[in-house]
Structure 1
Amino acid sequence: MIQFKNLTLRRGVKELILNATLTLNPGSKAGLTGANGAGKSSLFALLMGQLHADQGEALLPPHWVVAHVAQETPALAVSAIDYVLDGDRELRELEARLAEAERDNDGVAIGHLHAELARIDAWSARSRAARLLSGLGFANDAIEREVASFSGGWRMRLNLAQALMCRSDLLLLDEPTNHLDLETVLWLEDWLKGYPGTLLMISHDRDFLDSVCSHIVELANQTLTLYTGNYSQFETLRAEKLARQQGDFERQQRQIAHLESFITRFKAKATKARQAQSRIKALEKLERIAPAHVHSPFDFHFETPESLPNPLLRLDAISAGYGGKPVLDNLSLSIESGSRIGLLGVNGAGKSTLVKLLAGELAPLRGERIEAQMLKVGYFSQHQLETLREDDTPLGHMQRLAPDAREQVLRTFLGGFNFHGDAALGPVGPMSGGEKARLALALIVWTRPNLLLLDEPTNHLDLEMRHALTLALQDFAGALLVVSHDRSLLEATTDTFWLVGDGAAKPFDGDLEDYRQWRLARQAEALRPSSDDTAAPNRKEQKRQEAELRQRMSQQKKPLLARLAKLEKSIELLTTEKAGLEAFMASEEAYADDNRARLADSAKRQGEASAELERLEEEWLALQEEIEALENGYPQQ
């Protein structure tokens, strides 16, 4: 089991957890929830042995194997499947010992090691790894490719596969659904349901939490609280708890007011002085109940568009793609006023390509894009975050967008996106991904668009902001088209689905559960053996065409990969510096009297390094997505 006993955890001078006690039993599948900055990632670092408790204990059984997803993937020459197999550390250790015993011709050791390998079912390890890769979207002919040949998004999936491959007792997952498509999220959901160990994960995907979790651990007000049930059940229990707490708080406030009134009236009177003193002591000993916080920090909505022409936008016999190769071909469709469309389809099918085409960000190879005279598009994608000026403030962005608006009006508007007070005046550069996404959405909302195009808008957004965005989209009067792996958002804001694939975008008759069943049927069909005699020649021709495409793409990718290598070097240096600072701050030496100045400087530099590292990692992800966009016409799985 996992036990936290009177745990106190600090990062620098900030207390994240104070005197918390909690027990999580073996086999539990728990979601860890809490506001951004509350300390969720620090708690993971504690469980991985990267941090130490400042007071109290964090206890794991000594024999437990802990698995987590690596944040970086070196450009290795090993195959994808061997990289995943490296996640099974016991397997690799036994294989190394067996190789050594065979070199020494040690028959006894060889026999013992074969028995150990049989015990852990080593002979099925390669097929297990292949199934993991398949579930995470890798094509059968991709699993032997070198890790270095994959772009960043696919390397992140390799890291996830490696963590799942580990026969762990405790699995730690931090936002595992970020940057996955809906199909892969559904597969991962099913895999985690069958995971036999203890699972602790951070996620802002409520459907994912609902489907997988048996418990929720809330990190709030510097303490840990365990709730039994999934996320929806947790919300109900928390609401009841907050209601009780608010009632207790109000009763206590009345009690305090009564005591203070007595003290004020009778403290100076000799006949009442002793009674007043007793009430002063009672007031001092009173354990104060905190007021309940039930309100979201976000409050915004879309104003009714100034015009709603119909249709808003048409595509006529359009082909679009990258490097001259179409991803979408001979596509004709219309976006009507009031349409609410969710796009479905496997990764690489062309969903983002279609959104860019509709937004006017991607020029068609052939055909015509016809827009209404009064069309006003609000387009959100992760690439839009790059257009924010890092040296400017949220208020500065708004003032450029609306130069005639009064400052107080703009500040009030930004407050609805939780940019209150000084938060509206700080530079964008050091902001987190979630803060930048909120600002990008605020700029879109202000423009009063009549067509909203949202490509994975919930990446980096916490549950409160996702809920606020969902409510705002439900009231949006214009047309909406959205790509998202967040099923709650899709189900709550869209009326119809389009299936993107095989170069086309067609209406899908059904809901997300129908789509899930359709995908399972397609996957089962793909696993059935084919009797087509022409299959082998067709595969040979397909491989020849893919080889030609790889060669062309390689030339176009060279400058991007050079930028990527430079960025990875900077991230590596900054990560090393940050680890050194954190190691010092976690040591007893840091709190010696003669190290106070160094501790303060280290805490300041650690904050700067964290912000810079987050900025570089966002830039790294953006560059990886640019590379993936280039490869979109090639089966990069």
Structure 2
Amino acid sequence: MSLITLQNVDYGVGGPLLLANVGLSIDAGERIALIGRNGAGKSTLLKLLAGDIKPDDGEVRVEGGVRIARLEQEVPAGAEGDVWDVVAAGLGQLGAWLAEYHHLSHADHVDTDALARVQSKIEDAEGWSLDQRVTETLTRLDLDGDALFSGLSGGMKRRVLLARALVSSPDVLLLDEPTNHLDIAAIDWLEGFLKAWPGALVFVTHDRRFLRALATRIVEIDRGQVTSWPGDWANYERRREERLNAEAQENARFDKLLAQEEVWIRQGIKARRTRDEGRVRRLKAMRSERSQRRDLTGNVRMEVAQGDASGRKVIELKDVSFGYGGQAIVSDLSTAVMRGDRIGLIGPNGSGKTTLLKLLLGELAPTLGTVKLGSTLQVAYFDQYRATLREDWNAIENVAEGRESVEINGRPKHIIGYLQDFLFTPERARAPITRLSGGERNRLLLAKLFAQPSNLLVMDEPTNDLDVETLELLEDLLSDYQGTLLLVSHDRDFLDNVVTSTLVMEGAGHVGDYVGGYTDWLRQRPETAASLQPAARPAAQAVASATPAAAAAKRKLSYKDARELEQLPVRIEALETRLSELTEAMNAPAFYQRGSEGIATHNAALAATQAELDAAYARWAELDG
């Protein structure tokens, strides 16, 4: 049953429509991942679904009695008071009366008259059951109702706001970047919670593992068009690639025909006799159609300004301890960071990851032990709180700092051109940064960071608010970086794809040192570190229990299956090479000079190779599982 239906919805904010002729329905119980490039209109669509804004044209129809709640991307400015107040605010006016009753009844000196007045209002509205619901929601999300909201960490504030959204028992829950500022344990908990939640869910996220774990349908916003893709993320990626290839072919065919017509119109007056007026009109229509085409948004073109090579040993810690107020943050840590290492720092919010970073960089002196920094270090620092951006400067001023160009690996580049590589138009680059979205600010920080020559790159939560395409490009860039990387991140896929080792805050001052990324740490971690992941989630427990003993219990393969497993990597590599060759051939100008039959044959070979590759990966997972 459809809970919310959008029919022919248009919405614009100047220029081309942000959302054009949207048709979409949200059914009971489904979990929809809403994806698209930064600025594509994802948050806008959530606001339309919530009824917070109205469409310019078309209709948003909500079935009678359907309750909708929305978790915003940023903590709202008006959220204040204690946690009980903030959560109760999700019940509207009745929630305000319940919050007032809660305060009056918990005061040292009870005002009986005021208490009686508000009690009467709640009784008239039959609201006592909702008072119990607030208490149950706080318990369910492990929140202290008496804690002051303003004193909570960013992750805990997000959990409180989720409680506020849930307290009204919505039929449809809208979540905008719910994993922002959450640590890995909280993200894992949220995954499990939302999987068990019975209502319909529409969410925006940059966390690919979170998306894959939850989504039953993908809805994409691309150049104003909203397209629904049933199934999981892997199915979406494959089918989207096919659609983009078909679109590129059609555009190439159209552009070739248009070019031919432009040549004809320039041949002179003889070609434009009265009997050819229909052809002239067709050319005008084609020009109009081409001018209205919205081309695919380009990708960020990132390049790091490489500094001089550092010494072989970048940082060395010997028997380092550090703490605050008698609480150990780091105890007896000895480790060495070598040139070219890519190290991830993992741990719950508040566990001391930033403190460990400062110890590694020599910004904090240890209580005990020694920290030795290598020679000729050039450090570039990405700050998750964006404190390095000046709010009174625009994007150009923040990156160029008075210069007209930046120098990237010995090549000068005009600041406007450099910022265009990070998808800033000249107008956007000159706009005050107070008008930039979260994703734009993160891209601006990356632009500022990568303009600095460095051989030690320090990145504290760089993935927040970035779209998937930019995330994947950033992964490739960091993997090719010639210097040393220290990375704090709660994005599990990002850690797996970038780092070569991890330092894990395991509690009581112990810092574990592990080879590999996040998934490798899960396999290697001692039982004492299991508290970093919630025990309630079966999937997490299954991964965590993959100890050597558990691995030994895997089923024994037959000779034939073992032989097949041994040969699969070679087969997969050959198929990936073949797929790359077929895709590369489509990028050549001569490709579109073939006849339609040749193009169709090529596309069939591409689809068949992709299917073979998918089957080979599935078989590998089956045999190696």
> Residues 158-203 of structure 1, C-alpha deviation per residue, up to 9 Å, x if partnerless?
1122223442111111111111111111111222222222211222
Candidates 389, 392, 396, aligned match of 1:390 = 392
* Native 8 Å contact 1:214 1:228 kept in 2: yes
Aligned residue among 499, 508, 524 for 1:502? 508
Residue 186 (structure 1) aligns with: 188
CA distance in 2 between counterparts of 1:367 and 1:380 reads: 27
1:524 Cα deviation (Å)?
7.1
Query: 2:140 matched to 1:131?
Result: yes
User: CA 1:314–1:197 in 2, change beyond 3 Å: closer, same or farther?
Assistant: same
Contact 1:87–1:166 (8 Å) recurs in 2: yes
Query: 425, 439, 450: which is aligned to 1:445?
Result: 450
Q: Deviations over 1:88-135 (max 9, x none)?
A: 679969999x99xxx99xxxx99x979x96xx9x978745532323xx
Distance, in Å, in 1 between the alignment partners of 2:256 and 2:15 is 35
Report the counterpart of residue 461 of structure 1 in structure 2.
466
- Distance in 1 (alpha carbons) for counterparts of 2:482 and 2:406: 25
TM-score (norm 1): 0.69
Where does residue 421 of structure 2 map in the other structure?
Answer: 416
Q: Is 1:212–2:217 an aligned residue pair?
A: no
SS of 1:492 mapped into structure 2: helix
Distance 1:172 1:197 in 2: 11
Gaps of 5+ in 1: 528-637
Q: 1:235 aligns with which of 213, 234, 237?
A: 237
Q: Tell me the distance in 1 between the aligned counterparts of 2:57 and 2:270.
A: 44
Cα distance in 2 between the residues matched to 1:86 and 1:427: 33
Superposed counterparts of 1:207-606, under 5 Å: 207-262=209-264, 265=267, 268=270, 273-274=274-275, 276-283=276-283, 288=289, 293=295, 296-302=298-304, 304-321=306-323, 326-388=328-390, 390-391=392-393, 393-394=395-396, 397-398=399-400, 408=413, 410-419=415-424, 421-428=426-433, 430-500=435-505, 501-508=507-514, 512-513=518-519
Provide closer, same or farther for how the CA distance between residues 509 and 335 of structure 1 changes in structure 2, counting only shifts above 3 A.
closer
**8 Å Cα contact 2:306-2:453 kept in structure 1:** yes
* Cα displacement string for residues 541-598 of structure 1 (whole angstroms, at most 9, x for unaligned residues): xxxxxxxxxxxxxxxxxxxxxxxxxxxxxxxxxxxxxxxxxxxxxxxxxxxxxxxxxx
- Aligned equivalents of 1:522, 1:434: Cα separation in 2: 29
Do the aligned residues in 1 keep the contact of 2:81 with 2:150 (CA within 8 Å)? Answer: yes
1:366 and 1:520 map into 2 onto residues whose CA distance is 28
Partner of 2:108: none
Q: Residue by residue, what CA displacement relative to the aligned partner does 1:424-455 show, whole Å, maximum 9, x if unpaired?
A: 55554544443333333233323332222211
SS of alignment partner, residue 178 of structure 2: coil
Partner of 1:64: 66
- TM-fit CA distance, 1:474: 0.8
Which one of 21, 24, 27 corresponds to residue 26 of structure 2? Answer: 24
Instruction: State whether residues 404 and 414 of structure 2, in contact with CA within 8 Å, keep that contact through their aligned partners in structure 1.
Output: no
The code of the aligned residue for 2:188 comes to L
Query: Structure 1: which amino acid aligns with 2:495?
Result: L
Query: Secondary structure in 1 aligned to 2:12?
Result: strand
Deviation at 1:18, TM superposition (A): 2.5
Alpha-carbon distance between aligned partners in 1 of 2:58 and 2:406, rounded to the nearest angstrom: 56
State whether residues 48 and 66 of structure 1, in contact with CA within 8 Å, keep that contact through their aligned partners in structure 2.
yes
Q: Which amino acid in the other structure matches residue 273 of structure 1?
A: T
Aligned length: 508
CA pair 12-413 structure 1, distance change in 2 beyond 3 A: closer
Q: Please state how far the C-alpha of 1:346 moved relative to its aligned partner.
A: 1.6
Tell me how far apart the structure 2 counterparts of residues 430 and 76 of structure 1 sit (CA, whole Å).
25
Residue pair 2:84, 2:146 contacting (<8 A) in 1 also: yes
Closer/same/farther in 2, CA of residues 91 and 184 from structure 1, 3 Å limit: farther
Equivalence for 1:167: 169
Instruction: Say which SS state the counterpart of residue 129 (structure 1) adopts.
Output: helix
Is the Cα contact below 8 Å between 2:91 and 2:168 reproduced in 1? yes
TM-score (norm 2): 0.70
Shift of 1:30: 1.4
- In structure 2, stretches of 5+ residues that fail to align are 103-115, 538-625
Contact 2:171–2:200 at 8 Å: present in 1 too? Answer: yes
Q: Report the AA paired with residue 130 of structure 1.
A: T
Residue 5 of structure 1 aligns with which residue?
7
Secondary structure at the aligned position of 2:19 is classed as strand
Structure 1 residues 373, 258: CA separation in 2 closer, same or farther (over 3 Å shift)? closer
CA contact (8 A) 1:311 1:334 kept: yes
Which string of whole-angstrom CA distances, capped at 9 and with x for unpartnered residues, describes residues 521-545 of structure 1? 7767799xxxxxxxxxxxxxxxxxx
Secondary structure of 2:321's aligned partner:
strand
Deviations for 1:137-168, whole angstroms, at most 9, x for unmatched residues?
A: x5xxx454344553555333211222234421
Match of 1:42 in 2: 44
Which position in structure 2 is the counterpart of 1:51? 53
1:576 counterpart residue number? none
User: What letter is aligned with 2:280?
Assistant: I
How far, CA to CA, are the matches of 1:438 and 1:356 in structure 2? 24
Deviates more, 1:47-56 or 1:35-44: 35-44
Question: Contact 2:343–2:501 (CA<8 Å) still a contact in 1?
Answer: yes
Q: Alpha carbons of 1:365 and 1:520: their partners in 2 closer, same or farther (altered >3 Å)?
A: closer
User: Equivalent residue of 1:353, what SS?
Assistant: helix
- Equivalent-residue separation in structure 2 for 1:260 and 1:252 (angstroms): 12
CA deviation profile, 1:298-354 (whole Å, cap 9, x unmatched): 112335542131210122333345578553234332211222221222221111211
- d(CA) in 2 for partners of 1:321 and 1:247? 62
Residue identity in the other structure for 1:349: S
Alpha-carbon contact 2:405-2:412 (below 8 Å) kept: no
Whether contact under 8 Å (1:245, 1:291) holds in the other structure is no
1:511 offset after TM fit, Å? 5.2
Alpha-carbon distance change, 414 to 86 in structure 1, aligned in 2, over 3 angstroms: closer
Q: Decide whether aligned partners of structure 1 residues 128 and 440 sit closer, same or farther in structure 2, where only a CA change above 3 A counts.
A: closer
Deviates more, 1:69-78 or 1:168-177: 69-78
Tell me how large the CA RMSD over aligned residues is.
Answer: 4.2
Q: How far, CA to CA, are the matches of 1:359 and 1:238 in structure 2?
A: 43
Contact 2:499–2:517 under 8 Å retained in 1: no
Letter in 2 for 1:503: G
Letter in 2 for 1:470: E
Q: 1:82 to 1:404 in 2, by over 3 A?
A: closer
Secondary structure at the aligned position of 2:17 is classed as: strand
- Between the aligned partners of 1:202 and 1:329, the Cα distance in structure 2 is 39
Provide the C-alpha distance between the structure 2 equivalents of 1:394 and 1:13, rounded to a whole number of angstroms. 23
The sequence identity of aligned pairs, in percent, is 31
Distance 1:388 1:469, change over 3 A: farther
| Residues 456-465 or 228-237, more deviating | 228-237
**Structure 2 CA distance for aligned equivalents of residues 82 and 383 of structure 1:** 27
